[in-house]
Structure 1
Amino acid sequence: MTLPTTRTWARRGQTPAIRVRGRSQRRFSIAALACYKPGERSRLIYRPKRHVDHKRGGRRSFTWTDYRDLIAAHQQLGAPIVLIWDNLHVHKDARLRAFIDAHGWITCYFLPAYAPDLNPVEGLWSLLRRSSQANTAFTDPDHLMRTLRHGLRQIQYRSNLIEGCLADTGLTLTTSRQQAQ
């Protein structure tokens, strides 16, 4: 577990050194949907995942089926979904594209390469790192997962933070573009 440190100190002229008790080979992934609907409270739907067997050649990230299941959140929202995705290779998986194309309630746009400033979810990750994750030495993987869930719940209950992440991108709910293939 790498220590997410936001501040430290050292004597003037000396480089600060932070000691960490070793590195875990475990990996965690989080996928999230920032959901915006005019006239309604913004929502955050997320799925954390702990990859316990990647040392034995297992998967180290979300699969296309994990994203497919997350997209099924439209049932919770009761509305069509417009996805704004970065160029992660799993987002462009042919099976996921076939799933999206087969359902009329999903519209998908891809961001230009290297444009995290246009992705509202990147703002959520920044909020998470600066709040619950900052200056925390996690004692074990369960402590990390509890802290992640707690931090995401804190963001989830504050819709103004979720709306602020959209506003920070400069995008609006009325932005119209051609659907990317």
Structure 2
Amino acid sequence: MGFSLKPTVTRTWAPCGQTPVLVSKYRWDSVSTIGAIATTGQFLQHTHPASINGAHVLSFLSHLLRHISGSITVLLDNARIHKTKALGAFVAAEPRLSVVYFPPYAPELNPIEPVWAYVKQHVLANFCPSDLQTLRPDCPWRGGKCERLSFQGASCMELGCDPVAQESIS
């Protein structure tokens, strides 16, 4: 998920006759975040100063393996960075890790999408950071502002994906 210096403009309140004004540099500078929700409700994430690539995904999966015990099933969308040969080799070599892909064009099945929507529409709504250090998209996680979200894990069948169809990573 990308977070840019451009504000997410949302509806707000203001005294009658005083139109709210957002002052922004309106630049495209951004940072990207990759995250996961464990069935226990634990939220893990990495933030990078550039777009997420296949190497970042591998690093994040290693992070998950270090911080979550037992078997891990990772649900991924069909983004190109989630289907690299290096990722396929990593998953094949890691017995605790399995990958299940969502059907194409089905973000409504992805349990992390409401987290990104909440952060953009509520936590960072009408926020005009002056630079990337001010933006710091990891701050919402530290402030506990996402605790109100229900991070209860759903089974693969509840999510509408077929656990048997664990598409191979090419």
TM, length-normalised to structure 1: 0.74
**2:120 aligned with 1:97:** no
- Residues 159 and 67 of structure 1: is their aligned pair in 2 closer, same or farther, counting only changes over 3 Å? farther
TM, length-normalised to structure 2: 0.78
- Residues 155 and 64 of structure 1: is their aligned pair in 2 closer, same or farther, counting only changes over 3 Å? farther
Secondary structure in structure 2 of the residue aligned to 1:28: strand
* 8 Å contact from structure 2 (residues 71, 96) kept in 1: yes
How many correspondences in the alignment?
Answer: 156
- Residues 17 and 42 of structure 1: is their aligned pair in 2 closer, same or farther, counting only changes over 3 Å? closer
Which of 141, 155, 163 is matched with 1:152 structurally?
141
Mark the runs of 5 or more structure 2 residues left unpaired by the alignment: 14-18
Q: Which residue of 1 aligns with 2:74?
A: 83
Q: CA deviation at 1:111?
A: 0.8
Q: CA deviation at 1:139?
A: 2.1
- Displaced runs of 4 or more, over 6 A: 16-19
Q: Identity rate of aligned residues, in percent?
A: 21
**2:32 aligned with 1:32:** no
**2:122 aligned with 1:124:** no
Q: Which residue of 1 aligns with 2:16?
A: none
Mark the runs of 5 or more structure 1 residues left unpaired by the alignment: 10-15, 52-60
Q: Which residue of 2 aligns with 1:177?
A: 164
Provide the rounded CA distance (Å) in 2 between the counterparts of 1:94 and 1:65. 11
Larger fraction in helix:
1
Higher RCO, Cα 8 Å, sep 6+: 2
RMSD over aligned Cα, in angstroms?
2.9
Q: Which residue of 2 aligns with 1:42?
A: 41
- Residues 140 and 160 of structure 1: is their aligned pair in 2 closer, same or farther, counting only changes over 3 Å? closer
**2:56 aligned with 1:66:** yes
Which of 5, 11, 14 is matched with 1:7 structurally?
11
